Every structure is written in structure tokens, then in C-alpha cells.
Structure 1
Amino acid sequence: MQERVRPFRKQSYYKLKRNCLKHGELFEDPLFPPTLESLYYKRTPPSDIEWKRPSEICRDPRLFVDGISSRDLHQGSLGNCWMVAATSCLATEPAVWKKVIPNYREQDWNPKHPEKYAGIFHFRFWRFGFWIDVVIDDRLPTSKGGGLLFCRSNNENEFWCALLEKAYAKLNGCYEALEGGNTAEALVDFTGGISEPVCLDQGKILEAQGEALESQMGCGLVKGHAYGVTDVRKLRLGTGLLSFFRTSRLYMIRMRNPWGTTEWSGAWSDGSQEWNQVSKHEREKLGVTVSDDGEFWMNFDDFCSYFTDLVICRRINTSLLSFHKTWLEACLFGEWVPGQGLDNRSGGCINNRDTFLQNPQFMFEVVHKEDILFCLQQEDRRAMRKEGTGENLAIGFEVFQVEVNRKYRLHTIPPKAASSVYIDSRSVFLRTELKQGRYIVIPTTFSAGEKTKFLLRMFTETKSNFREVTLDQPKPSIWRCCWGSYCRVTSIHLQSAVGLVLRGASRDPDVFAMIKCEGTSVRSNVFKSSSSPDFNLKAIFYRRSPRRSIKIEVYSKGFFRNILLGCVSVDAAVNEMGKSQVLSLQDSKRGSRATGSVLIETSSSDCLTDL
């Protein structure tokens, strides 16, 4: 998707800054003022909060001091470890943080030209298909003694993390709206990527509740707490020259506690004896430090033993000019809206079998067997927490393979090709392998009758022609007085054939099949050297003349011309659903029976919205 930037609540950073510089004023944001409403909506605030500009907190404020690092951040008196952990990860990726903090040099303080400072900053977050440009002033909440109340840097002169947190709070309604969350959401907001949850089955930190939540364990880890993974390395064990010839390797993960303190105290923790197995050069490459800065190393086995969940944020490579694997991205917006009958677009999950197919439906093609990535995202609701309606809906989706020529919405539920989990998360991810064919994906809320907007993203290796299917049946033709109207719908599934023989040939033929109906046709793939191919060819036909039979023809593919091996006429009786038949092929030229037979299944109805 092309990257598009939208100003948050129509505030233009450049216009506002020019106006402030013109009048020699520092910016004061009317949309996020230094009031209690910008801080809390439910909590009782401390009585000694004072909003200060960075120049009132320190002598020499800077956006960055000696660059940006994952070690800069310290979580403040706000339960937003999920967001701070994601910010630690953000700091390790220059290409990403430079997008979140645009034109950072221009935004920074310039001691040589203080007149160019206007007390205004802007940050960008990816939301619902767009990069949202959020403008803030530099007034920050401080506690008694002048220290920052919320996220702060190791260096008292550095303010990038505090200002970024303020912009994120503004986007979400207030600071308290950041209490409790999913690290995956912040990672997606910072990158525009897709988040993939991984369950670590060996995890020993079970879900903590009540007093156990955020309590420190004997190993130094904190229950129910989010940590940022800031590096992954393969460590060479041993010291001296011989270590270069050893094959012993250890997978290591570097993590950071958003508190900026309280670290893992087990194997490979800061100063542990395990580091004696590693050369000084290797330790320096890893940047091992013995200090309580919240950052520590663990080996992969311990990581899997102590943690329950891992979130991977995938920045999908959609570049056309790349040496790495690239994907084609397709994005469609939709909305679940309750309605009546066929106009309903909020039918709930597949458990609601009477209304499930009344959800929005999206069609795509798979050219050959390949991995497909799906990400369903509902509209962010965190900003609605002030009104008490900020909880996510449980969402998910189902994928179905449909007839190769289907153009209209599904009205019967076919076998599932793939299915996501249903969870009350902002987004749901699925990676699955699909074979060649036409498919429909149906995103839903778990319960019927719920209303919200959604974004469905799909990543494929080849063009998918991803589109929404809105029509339930063919529109009446203006020429119906001449051609007649559609009066019957028939689906036919050519499952397989047996006993196919090409007369005079010494080997089994290369075969394909065609299904023909009233001037339209569909064709199967070619099956090499097969007398018993599994065609698995599905087609659907809207018919004006039901008395005319549907014809199945089986061919041997030749170099110069194709040879008809046999054909059969199919009469699909009305209102017969899922009827299986074995039909013998006929020789159309000789008017006699040909060698071989086909297995088919048919369904037919005079109601065009039955199939």
C-alpha cells in the first residue's frame, strides 16, 4: 500500500510552526491542553502535577543526546510497559524511528539559533492504513521536585521518548488510555507492519492476577510484564584461538525491562560466571555491560521456559527492487453493519450458521500453491475508553475455496480452506498455504449484530485480484425480453475420472476437462500421463434455459491439437443438493460409449440465492 500521511485532527505541523515563529510565540496545543483531562479520565491525579517545558526542567534540552538507544527509556508512573517495550524495539531500527520521528534534526533544539525553536513537535503513527501525523507542544507533566511524571530518558537533557509518549497519548485520548495494552499494537503503530503472536508452550510465567501481577520472581523477571527483545545473536563459546575452530554455538536473546531496572538474574545475566566461557572480544561485540539498566541476555532455552508469549512484528517487504523475498500487498476497507436479510453485514462467526454468510465477503485468486499472509484489523477503540466503550471486539475470519468462475456472494457454506483464531485483539494474523484456485475470505465479529469498521490486508507472491463481492446474483439484463431471465443456478463439482484411454497410444494421456453451459465454459489444469486424474474442478452457472444440459468434455492434450476422449451430458434436477453421480463417458462421433467415467456432484435451485 502506498504510504499516505494524514494530519491528526487537521493540525498541520508546518503551518502551526510558521505561525508561532512569525509571532515569536511558543506553541500551545488547544487540542491537548495541560489539564487533568489530558492526563486521566478515571484515576485520581496527584495534587502536585505541574506541566513544564523542557527548558524549565533542564538547562540544555535536546531531542537526542548521543543518538538514540533502546537503553534510553525508563517507564514512569503509568502502566504502559507494553508501549515502552515497543519503543525500546523502535530505537534499534533507524529506518523505522526516522519515520516515526520525521525530520528529527529540524525538530531538535538549536542552541546557535534559539529563535528557530517554537515549542512544537510532531510524530507519526500508522493507524488503519494511514500514517497519522500528530502535533504536540512541548509541555510535559512533572511531579513534585520537577521530574517527569511518565516516560523519561537516562539523560535528563534528552526528551525524545517523553515527547513521543505524549503524542501517542494524544492519539489515544489521554495518558491514562495507555494503561494496559498489547505490545503488538504499539509495534504495528510504529512500523505499519503486521504482528504475529507466537505461543511459547513451555512458558512457566502463568497468567498473573491481582497482587501477583507485576510482582518480581526469584529469577528477577516480573510476572505479567512486557519486555522488549532488542537483539538476537548466535554466540561462539570458548576463549583463545581454538574457539574459532569450535562448532559450539548458543542462541542468545537480549531483552530490556521498560522500567530501566530489575533484570534477569539467572544464567548469562550481567556478571554471571557463564560469561567466562566467552572471549573478551565476543563480549564486546555483544555490548555486555554489568549495570542495572534493565537490559540483559538470556539463552534461548531459558527464554522459552520462562515466557508465555512472543510477538513478532513483520515489516513485509513490498519493494519491487529488492534482493530479498518480496510480497504483493492488497488492502480493502470494510464495515460490519447490522441490517435485515440479505442487507445484513454483521452476521457473526460461523457458529451463527443462519447469518454467517451475511458478513462482508472478499474474493481473490491463487495462481499456484503459495503462502498467503492475512491480517484483519478492527478500528482502534482505545480513544473511546473515556466513554466506557473502548474494548476490542472479538474478531476473526474464514477462508473458503469456491468455484473457479464464481462472481457472486456465497449463500451456502463450503468446506473451509483456512481459519484464523477469534480473539478480542485489535488485529488477527494468519499465515497459510493455499493451492491454486479462487477463494473467498469472510471476516467477522464473533457475535452477530456488532458494528465497527475493519481493514483486511493480504500479502501474496503473485497478483491476487483482491476485491469485495457485493452482488448476491446477476443483475437483470436489459435484453431479457430477447434472451430471457436467469431462472436457475447450478453448481457442479467434477471430482475425478477413471479409465481414460487414448486409442493407439502406448502411454497414459495428458488430460484436461471442460465444463460447458449455455455458451460459457471452465477448464481444468492438465494432468500429465494420467488415466485417473483428480480434477477437483468446481463451477457454478446461472441458467436461462434449464432444459439445456450441462456438458462435460474430457480431452487428451496434444502438441498440435487436442483429442476428445469422451463427453457426458449432465441433467441437474432442481432442488437436488449435493447429489453424487458416476457417469460413463460417451464417444460423440461414434455415438457409442467411450472408455472411462467421471465422478461428479451437483446442486441446483430455482432460487438464485440458494448457492
Structure 2
Amino acid sequence: MSSSVAPFKKQQYSDLKRDCVKNKKLFEDPEFPANDSSVFYKEKRFGIVKWKRPGEITSDPRLFVEGINSHDLNQGHVGNCWFVAASSCLALKPKLWKKVIPDWEEQDWDPKHPENYAGIFHFRFWVFGQWTDVVVDDRLPTVDGRLIYCHSNSKREFWSALLEKAYAKLYGCYESLRGGKAGDAVVDFSGAVCETIDLEEEAFYKDQEKQNHLFEKLLEIYNCGGIISCSIKAEEHKSEHKMSNGLVKGHAYAVTAVKRVHLGHGPYPRTKAFPMIRMRNPWGYKEWNGPWSDRDTQGIGGWHGRDPEPGVANGTGSQMSTPMPPTSTPSSPGLNNKQKDLNLEGDDSLSEST
């Protein structure tokens, strides 16, 4: 298996940046121009799209603000929750994201040496058995001064928006990212092999033993550094329909933790452990509202407002913890590292009854 890196469109990042710095100009990518052809291939959904550099959006842009984490990504106006969910998972794995975002310190803005900034970035994806280096300029599509696609909670942070732009360039345009599977994006981020488990077809809801075995498999993959995401099947006319439990049909979620949680109080002894999975909604809002959620005033074990295991229990923002998950997608870190991905899918009946 090749370990070399192939330049996408024959664009060499180091050469292009050196020329821009030498000539004191900001990079403008001729292979992915700042016009509608890079946004749409068929459907025009917005008004006037203006491309702006981060320095035109905020006075102090950064690639990362206070590090990188799964909360840095919020889905924009394109149906690519699968990509955003996979990117949220990526943010939890330093060894992986440092492959996808190489030399990130060199790429970041340096306020002490603004003359070294050239408006150019590069990201790497696993394409047809080889790492491929994709160069982009820093011009991002906006409407009314706001980013219309993936964005961070911090207006100063741009790694997620630039990563999405590079991925859109790889696939042709932003609109081409509409609809997909999180497992496919994880493969592109890692070179991993993705395994999909269909919870509906394999009738997990009928067999407690199979559910227990599945959780043990998820736990093993998570503890081995795996990446896990979730999705719920939906008919086309019901896609993105919010169910009564707060989950959304036809939508992908990132799994950010898999653990057995010990309450150690209330009616449950310390020896009682609940199989729990924490998920994050790429939208940045709408979350599970059943047992263990922020809205659960009683709490299944009477622990409302407590966190028996820090970082796992109660939901924060768009993160949520649920008992054994309705649907999931696990994966472990690149095929080149003998990595394995696992993608699980279920239908709405599983989620509604959880």
C-alpha cells in the first residue's frame, strides 16, 4: 500500500504558498473558483453568495481556538450531516486529524508574522488507496456576512469550514456533499475499512443477547480508539423528521463516548452499571429528550444534575447520553493501520421504543 501523498489537481501546497508569500499576494484557487460553480451543480438555493476571507469575517481568525474538539462543527445549509458527524468524530482522535490537517501550526495565522500568511491551506484524504493532498484558498461562501456551510461555535475558528471546503473541492462542489454515509467520510479520513450493521434487518430489537453483544463490540471498538457514528433510516418524505424522543430520522450523529456508567446512589448499588452511549447532533441543537437527558427531571436513577462519570453522563449543548443506542456507526483508526470502521443503522421503531 502506497505511503506517498499525491497532489490533487497537481497543485503543490509548498510551491504555491512560497510563490504567494514571495509576491505578497493571497492565493486564489483557479481549480475551485469563488463562484457559483463551486457551490452548486444544479440547484441554487440562496440569494447572492459572497465569498469572504476569514479576515473579512473576524478581526482575529484562527485555525483552532482553544484546541480542537467535536463541538467545533455545526452543519450549514447543505444536507451533509454525514460529513459533519464524521468530522466531529475525527476531532476526538489526534493521530487521525493530524494526518488530515498536516502541519497545522504552520498553516495557522501568526499575528507576529502576518507577512507569512498567504490565504492557502491544505488537507489530506484517502482516495483510491492513497493519501491525496487537496489545496484550497481561504475564501468561504457567505450570505449576509455569515458562513452558509459548516462553521464553528467560535466566529474566530475556521478549521471546520476549510476542511469542508477541501472536501467539497474533492467531490466537485458543495452541493455534491448532499446525502451520504458517515462511514464513507471516515474512510476518506483514515483509509479504514467500514463495516455496516443494520439493526433493523438483523432484528436487534427482538434479541436482548444480540443487543448486549453489540454493546460489547461498540465498547471494544471505542476503547481501541475507534470512530463511531449513528444514523436512523427514513423514507425520503420523512427525512429530517424529528421524532417524539428528540432524535431525527434520516440524520447522522457522532458517537463521542461509549461506557458503562455506575450511579452508586439511589435505588442502584455501585455494582449496577448502565450501558451508555453519548451522541452529538451535527446541527448543534435538537437532542434526545428521554431518560438521562437534560429534560429528565427525575432521572432513570435519580441522578438529575449529577455526573457520575465526568464527560459521559448528561448532555451538554447538542450532545446527549442515551441507554444502549438506537443506531450507531463505529470505526477504528486506517486500513493502512489495519483499522476497522463499523457503521450501524436502524429504523425509527427502534429509536421510538428506546
Query: What TM-score range do you get, normalising by the shorter chain?
Result: 0.7 to 0.9
What's the counterpart of residue 476 of structure 1? Answer: none
- Unaligned regions of 5+ residues in structure 1, if any? 320-326, 330-372, 376-611
Retained in 2: the 8 A contact 1:50–1:142? yes
Deviation at 1:215, TM superposition (A): 1.0
Partner of 1:234: 260
Distance 1:202 1:42, change over 3 A: same
Letter in 2 for 1:154: N
Deviations 1:81-107 (A, max 9, x none): 111111111011111001100010110
> For the structure 1 residues 289 and 206, does the alpha-carbon distance in structure 2 shift closer, same or farther, using more than 3 Å as the test?
closer
| Partners of 1:13 and 1:121 within 8 A in 2 | yes
Residue of structure 2 in register with 1:218 after alignment: 244
- Match in the other structure for 1:259: 283
Contact 1:196–1:314 (CA under 8 A) maintained in structure 2: no
What is the rounded CA distance, in whole Å, between the counterparts of 2:32 and 2:232 in structure 1? 39
Matching of residues 60-99 of structure 1 within 5 Å: 60-99=60-99
Contact conserved, 2:85 with 2:253, CA < 8 A, in 1? yes
Q: Which of 284, 287, 293 is 2:310 aligned to?
A: 284
Contact kept, 8 Å, 1:235 with 1:252, in 2: the verdict is yes
Deviations 1:514-541 (A, max 9, x none): xxxxxxxxxxxxxxxxxxxxxxxxxxxx
**Change over 3 Å in CA distance of 1:246–1:224 after alignment to 2:** same
Shift of 1:286: 2.5
Partner of 1:150: 149
Shift of 1:206: 7.2
Q: How far off its partner does 1:202 sit?
A: 4.2
Match of 1:4 in 2: 4
Q: TM-score, normalised by structure 1?
A: 0.48
Cα distance change on mapping 1:130 and 1:268 into 2, 3 Å: same
Q: Secondary structure at the match of 2:106?
A: helix
SS of the equivalent of 2:264 reads: coil
Give the letter aligned to residue 286 of structure 1.
V
Partner of 1:177: 176
SS, match of residue 240 in structure 2: coil
Q: Aligned-pair distance for 1:213?
A: 1.2
1:56 matched to 2:93: no
Q: Secondary structure at 2:30's aligned position in 1?
A: coil
So what's the TM-score if we normalise by structure 2?
Answer: 0.82
Question: In the alignment, which residue of structure 2 is the partner of 1:103?
Answer: 103
Greater strand share, structure number: 1
CA contact (8 A) 1:231 1:254 kept: yes
Aligned partner letter, 2:152: S
Work out the CA distance in 2 between the residues paired with 1:285 and 1:42. Answer: 43
SS of 2:32's partner is coil
Alpha-carbon distance, 1:210 to partner: 3.9
* Matched-pair contact (CA < 8 Å) for 1:52–1:139: yes
Please give the secondary structure, in 1, of the residue aligned with 2:22: helix
Q: Quick one: distance in 1 between partners of 2:261 and 2:177? A: 37
Q: Superposition pairs for residues 510-525 of structure 1, below 5 Å?
A: none
Q: How does 1:468-487 map to 2 (within 5 A)?
A: none
Q: Which amino acid is the alignment partner of residue 286 of structure 2?
A: T
1:291-370 correspondence runs (5 A): 293-300=317-324, 303-304=325-326, 307=327, 310-315=328-333
Choose from 259, 270, 295 the match for 1:246: 270
Which amino acid is the alignment partner of residue 89 of structure 1?
A: C
Determine the C-alpha separation between the residues in 2 that align with 1:21 and 1:287.
Answer: 48
Alpha carbons 1:238, 1:277 under 8 Å: kept: no
**RMSD (CA atoms):** 2.6
Contact 2:39 2:175 in 1 (8 A): yes
- 1:197 equivalent in alignment to 2:196: yes
Q: CA, structure 1 residues 42+64, in 2 after alignment: closer, same or farther (shift >3 Å)?
A: same
Q: By how many angstroms is 1:237 displaced?
A: 1.7
Matches within 5 A, 1:576-587: none
Q: Which has the higher contact order (CA 8 A, sep 6+)?
A: 2
Partner Cα distance (1:318, 1:42) in 2 = 36
Q: Report if the CA contact (8 A) 2:232-2:251 is conserved.
A: no
Question: C-alpha offsets along residues 174-215 of structure 1, whole Å, 9 cap, x if unaligned?
Answer: 111101111111010011111010121346997423431111
Report which of the two has the higher share of helix.
2
The aligned counterpart of 1:270 is 294
CA distance in 2, matches of 1:88, 1:206: 18
Aligned to 1:343: none
Question: Which amino acid in structure 1 is aligned with residue 250 of structure 2?
Answer: G
Residue 3 of structure 1 deviates from its aligned partner by 2.2
Query: CA–CA distance in 2 between the matches of 1:316 and 1:134?
Result: 19
Are the equivalent residues in 1 in contact too, given 2:76–2:150 (CA < 8 A)? yes
Name 2:132's counterpart in structure 1: 132
CA distance in 2, matches of 1:114, 1:130: 34
Shift of 1:316: 5.8
Greater Rg over alpha carbons, structure: 1
Provide the rounded CA distance (Å) in 1 between the counterparts of 2:19 and 2:313.
Answer: 45
Q: 1:409-466: CA deviations, max 9, x gaps?
A: xxxxxxxxxxxxxxxxxxxxxxxxxxxxxxxxxxxxxxxxxxxxxxxxxxxxxxxxxx
Distance 1:44 1:113, change over 3 A: same
Structure 1 partner of 2:209: none
Distance 1:210 1:101 in 2: 34
Letter in 2 for 1:33: P
Question: What SS class does the counterpart of residue 278 from structure 2 fall into?
Answer: strand
The Cα of 1:287 is off from its aligned counterpart by 6.5
Deviation, 1:317, is 8.0
Tell me how far apart the structure 2 counterparts of residues 36 and 68 of structure 1 sit (CA, whole Å): 30
C-alpha change, 1:186 and 1:203, in structure 2 (3 Å) is farther
Indicate conservation of the 8 Å contact 1:262/1:294, yes or no: yes
Supply the AA of the counterpart residue of 2:79: G
Q: Percent identity?
A: 51
**Paired residue secondary structure (2:308):** helix
CA distance in 1, matches of 2:158, 2:281: 19
Shift of 1:219: 0.8
Which amino acid letter does the alignment assign opposite residue 35 of structure 2? T
For 1:71 and 1:97, locate their aligned partners in 2 and report how far apart those are by CA, in whole Å: 15
Residue 102 of structure 2 aligns to which amino acid in structure 1? P
For 2:119 and 2:36, locate their aligned partners in 1 and report how far apart those are by CA, in whole Å: 21
- Partners of 1:289 and 1:38 lie apart in 2 by 37
279 and 233 in structure 1: CA distance in 2 versus 1, 3 angstrom threshold = farther
Cα drift, residue 46 of structure 1: 2.0
**Secondary structure of the equivalent of 1:30?**
coil
Q: Aligned AA for 2:257? A: D
Contact 1:270 1:297 survives alignment (8 Å): no
Query: Quick one: which amino acid aligns to residue 331 of structure 2?
Result: C
